[in-house]
């Protein structure tokens, strides 16, 4: 990479044959759209979100009002309100949502989506994640996210995988770090959510970074890393830093 100048900040790729500087050529072929298909893992299944999941999700949400603090929706006052939210999400293609069914519980305990899907830019976000407290920081929770990360990067060939969250959402920021995302910066006063200012922390994984991130995630998810009770023998952070 050429030495940075005033016009080429450190770490920004540039085509050395151009003046003024522009970025290097990339494969500009639009990537495929993700499909509404199930994904199967060792500890969790992802099912395309459907209104039939609402009853189980309502049960998973009981006593978990704080888990909705950083989302644009929830908590819900009734099962019918939950059903309306699920039905709305299930009808959309962006965000494209999956229900999360851990093998240990056998019940639907959360959802997550692929969103801000930009085939022409080969960029896609994993977000709108809601996991019930009993699922948070579990093998199933991590594998649910990794299944969609693999789908986006390996199967669909996206170049940029994005994670963003409320800058005050410490658990989400820790999750991004554990999964191997790189912090890019914070968009100030980016959104208004539930009548409140939201600053948004931005994270990403790029295609050249993905193989090492994937190797660390696969090693952590391996059966040998878990004892009979399902507890991890080592932390994921140790494998992704």
| Interval 42-96: pLDDT, tens | 999 999 999 999 999 999 999 999 999 999 999 999 999 999 999 999 999 999 9
| Interval 172-195: pLDDT, tens | 999 999 999 999 999 999 999 999
Q: Which two tokens stand for residue 97?
A: 């949502």
What's the CA gap between 138 and 145, in Å, rounded? 11
| Interval 102-123: pLDDT, tens | 999 999 999 999 999 999 999 9
Across 43-52, 93-102, 230-239, least confident range? 230-239
Give domain limits for the chain: 39-240
Quick check: 181 and 160 in contact, CB under 8 A? no
User: E strands along 39-95, which residues?
Assistant: 39-40, 44-48
Q: In CATH, what class is 39-240?
A: alpha beta
């Amino acid at each position: 990479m050429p030495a940075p100048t005033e016009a080429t900040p450190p770490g920004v790729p540039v085509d050395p044959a151009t003046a003024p500087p522009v970025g290097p050529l990339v494969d500009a072929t639009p990537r495929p759209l993700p499909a509404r298909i199930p994904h199967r893992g060792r500890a969790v299944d992802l099912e395309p979100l459907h209104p039939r999941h609402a009853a189980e999700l309502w049960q998973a949400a009981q006593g978990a009002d704080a888990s909705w603090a950083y989302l644009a929706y929830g908590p819900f006052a009734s099962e019918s309100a939950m059903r309306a939210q699920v039905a709305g999400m299930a009808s959309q293609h962006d965000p494209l949502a999956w229900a999360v069914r851990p093998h240990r519980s056998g019940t639907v305990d959360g959802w997550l989506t692929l969103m801000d899907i930009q085939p022409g830019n080969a960029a896609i976000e994993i977000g709108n994640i809601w996991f019930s407290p009993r699922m948070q920081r579990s093998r199933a929770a991590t594998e649910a996210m990794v299944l969609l990360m693999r789908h986006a990067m390996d199967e669909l060939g996206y170049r940029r995988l994005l994670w963003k969250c409320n800058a005050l959402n410490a658990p989400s920021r820790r999750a991004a770090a554990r999964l191997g995302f790189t912090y890019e910066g914070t968009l100030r006063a980016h959104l208004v959510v539930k009548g409140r200012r939201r600053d948004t922390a931005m994270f990403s994984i790029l295609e050249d970074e993905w193989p090492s991130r994937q190797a660390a995630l696969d090693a952590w998810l391996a059966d040998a890393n878990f004892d009979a009770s399902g507890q991890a023998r080592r932390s994921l952070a140790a494998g992704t830093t």
